[in-house]
Amino acid sequence: MALPVVSVSMKKKKPSLVLTLSSAGILIAGGMTAYWLLTQGQLLSRDLPVGANIIPQDALFAVSLSTDRAQWQKLREFGTKETQIELDKNLVQLRDRFLTNNGYDFQKDISPWVGEQVTIAILSPEAIKPASKPVATDGNTTVNQRSTVVVLPIKNPEQAKKVLAQPKNPKAGQWIDRTYEGIAIKETNSASGENLSAAVIDQQFLVITDNPKTTERAIQAYKNKTSLATTAGFTDNFPKIATSQAFAQFYVNIPVSAKIAAASGNHHLPAQVLAQLQNNQGLAGSISLESQGIRIKGISWLNPNSQRTLRVENKAGKMPNLVPPETLMMLSGGNLRQLWSDYVSTSQGNPLSPIPPEQLKAGFKSFTNLDFEQDLLSWMGNEFSVSVIPSRPRDSLSDNFRASLVFMVQASDRTRAETSLKKLDEVMKTQYQFQIQQTSVAGKPVVNWFGPLGTLTATHGWLDADVAFFALGAPVSDKIIPKLNNTLANTPLFQQTVPSEPNPTNGQFFLDVERTVQNFPLPTLLPNQKTFLAATRSIGITSAVNDSRSNRYDIFLALKKVEDATSSSSQENRK
């Protein structure tokens, strides 16, 4: 599996960073001893990404990657041959392609002196000026203005000095030595204009950039303490998702990314959307490799100057116990009314919103003659879920549908809910000529909707005193109304996939990828989606409002092993 944030940073063709490493060897001389390394400099918590005290605050994003060979080998055990190809293109090449092409071997030449992680960051242009109106562009203007910073911690100064002082492929152009803020810099003077620059900061970090000015910005950030480590909320929130032996850590600067989007001619954002994004400060995460897949622990936090606060309300967790074990997908949340309110506030005027709120409300009104907020959301202030439950094989009643889309909600006012559902029944009967049939399942009353052609289309009713359900598609009432002894929450796949933390939670997501892909065509939402899904068994997410300023997310991707995927493919070919 490739990390998009990494692949973007390596698309631009530039002179080899290893040539810079080679020519920077002279910088790692003179008084560089292990004792100094351990007793001097600005020490940071091990929970923060390496180089967090060097990378400027306006970085668009940063990713730290492990240099542990065993971790990279473990990553390659997951997926399929196709995902391995993608991995080689995006991640492995990030570490190796500039080394092997220039006579260096990572394990032999770099590993002896480099630290446990290396960090790569993409900085924004120094001046970000949103375009007053969209202009014709090829879409690369902003990208070309961005610059890259690579931070390599020096674990063994003597080893580094020996290796970097002996270039193995010295085909660089003319090198220039200069000093900035008391720090020696070595940089190329390339005719192509793509100049690399390198500096050793406090004899602890080798910093390589693709622009001399970027090196100066990194030095200023370190000396003036205007780095990621001093960004609002960074040191407070990153430790909350820290993981021992993490394969990667990442950070996304939301307000700066929004400004970049606003300045882009092809992705111009309205002022009100930019204002909404400015409420958020950062998104960070740590990625760990486990025996059955990849775990991501994430956190997002608000700008400290934002007037917006989060409602700390984590009361979800009931819904997985109300759906059957064969459920393919389930998404739950703690408060549908609040979720809608948040969606309205962040989607107003946003052209990227899937459905503009006003358009959805108007469409619902036109179709049902009901008010979406007053007739429905007014009693939906508690936990809810949306699930996909497959139909029973060879069920004559479900021949028209292969699955049912089931909505459940814990009603805060059952009387008001029943009134709204009766209004909806009447609309379907009088306006769309549906036959409304009242019956019972397991001793509980339900209402069935039969279409004009006599097809059972939908069913609604109550599971208990306050949980309403509405099933659209195949009839599944008999699967959910009787008290279930075996539920989705009890299945090994759900328990292995959906993280148990944070707890309490305000929402969960589960997707049985293998069975879903086998039975239903899925819309394309992501690049290389087919390749990714072919390597994935299931996906689980658990989220919670951490406090009034931050949200927590735990994600687990249960992945196939390469040998398993190859074996399955061979068996399919023999059939």
Which residue, 260, 290, 320, sits at the end of a domain? 290
**Token pair for 171:** 């085909």
Q: Is residue 437 part of a domain?
A: yes
Element (H, E) at 384: strand 384-390
Alpha carbon distances (Å) from 28 to 32, 110, 206, 249, 475: 7, 14, 8, 27, 72
**Token pair for 338:** 């609040």
- Indicate the burial class of 108 (C-beta count within 10 angstroms; 0-12, 13-18, 19 or more): exposed
Looking at the structure of the chain, the number of domains it has is 2
- Indicate the burial class of 438 (C-beta count within 10 angstroms; 0-12, 13-18, 19 or more): exposed
First-residue to last-residue Cα distance in the chain: 28
Are 225 and 536 within 8 A, CB to CB?
no
Q: Is residue 43 part of a domain?
A: yes
Residue 498: the pLDDT is 98
Q: Which residues pair with 185 in a beta bridge?
A: 178, 199
Element (H, E) at 252: strand 248-253
Residue 81: the pLDDT is 85
Q: Is residue 305 part of a domain?
A: no
> What are the strands, taking DSSP E only, across 476-527?
507-512
Residue 330: the pLDDT is 98
Q: Do 36 and 141 belong to one domain?
A: yes
What pLDDT tens digit does each residue of the chain (575 aa) get? 333 333 333 334 444 444 444 444 433 333 332 223 333 334 456 689 999 999 999 899 999 999 998 998 999 899 888 888 877 777 666 555 445 554 567 778 778 889 999 999 999 876 444 433 333 333 333 444 678 898 999 998 888 777 666 655 555 556 788 999 999 988 876 655 567 788 889 889 989 888 889 999 999 999 999 999 999 899 999 999 988 889 999 999 988 777 776 565 554 455 555 555 567 889 999 999 999 999 999 999 998 887 888 889 999 999 999 999 999 999 999 999 999 988 887 776 555 566 788 889 999 999 999 999 999 999 999 999 999 999 876 555 545 788 999 999 999 999 999 999 999 999 999 999 999 999 999 999 999 999 998 899 999 999 988 999 999 999 999 999 998 889 999 999 999 999 999 999 999 999 999 999 988 888 887 778 888 899 999 999 999 999 999 999 999 999 999 876 454 444 444 44
Q: Do 355 and 211 belong to one domain?
A: no
Helix, strand and coil content of the chain, in percent to the nearest 5, comes to 35, 25, 40
DSSP, collapsed to helix, strand or coil, labels residue 550 as: strand
Q: Do 277 and 326 belong to one domain?
A: no
Q: Is residue 8 part of a domain?
A: yes
Q: Are strands 456-462 and 467-473 parallel, antiparallel or unpaired?
A: antiparallel
Q: Is residue 222 part of a domain?
A: yes
Are 392 and 326 within 8 A, CB to CB?
no
pTM across the whole model: 0.83
Q: Do 357 and 284 belong to one domain?
A: no
Residue type, 108: K
Range of the domain at 362: 311-547
Looking up tokens 């997985």, which residue turns up?
320
Q: In whole angstroms, give the CA distance from residue 428 to residue 433.
A: 6
Q: Which residues pair with 447 in a beta bridge?
A: 438, 460
Q: In whole angstroms, give the CA distance from residue 381 to residue 340.
A: 10
Are 2 and 91 within 8 A, CB to CB?
yes
DSSP codes, 1-67: ---HHHHHHT-S--S-HHHHHHHGGGGS-SS--HHHHHHSS----TTSPTTTTTSBTTEEEEEEEE-
What are all long-range contacts of 126-135, with beta carbons under 8 Å and residues at least 24 apart? 126/213, 126/217, 128/256, 128/259, 128/260, 128/263, 129/263, 130/259, 130/262, 130/263, 130/268, 130/274, 131/262, 131/263, 131/264, 131/265, 131/268, 133/268, 134/265, 134/266, 134/268, 135/265
Residue 277: the pLDDT is 58
Residue 441: the pLDDT is 94
Residue 263: the pLDDT is 62
Q: Do 340 and 253 belong to one domain?
A: no
Q: Do 12 and 151 belong to one domain?
A: yes
Q: Do 87 and 218 belong to one domain?
A: yes
Residue 327: the pLDDT is 97
Q: In whole angstroms, give the CA distance from residue 228 to residue 215.
A: 15
**Cα-based angle 388, 389, 393 (whole degrees, multiple of 5):** 140
Residue 35: the pLDDT is 29
Q: Do 283 and 351 belong to one domain?
A: no
Q: Is residue 562 part of a domain?
A: no
**Token pair for 47:** 């929970």
Q: Is residue 283 part of a domain?
A: yes
- Indicate the burial class of 215 (C-beta count within 10 angstroms; 0-12, 13-18, 19 or more): buried
Residue type, 455: T
Helices (H), 204-354: 212-223, 234-237, 254-263, 271-277, 336-347
Tally of CB atoms within 10 A around 158: 14
**Token pair for 277:** 């994004």
Q: Do 463 and 518 belong to one domain?
A: yes
Q: Do 261 and 328 belong to one domain?
A: no
Q: Do 229 and 121 belong to one domain?
A: yes
Residue 233's nearest CA partner among 149, 299, 288, 286 is: 299
Q: Do 282 and 145 belong to one domain?
A: yes
Q: Which residues pair with 524 in a beta bridge?
A: none
Q: Is residue 225 part of a domain?
A: yes
Rg (CA), the chain: 28
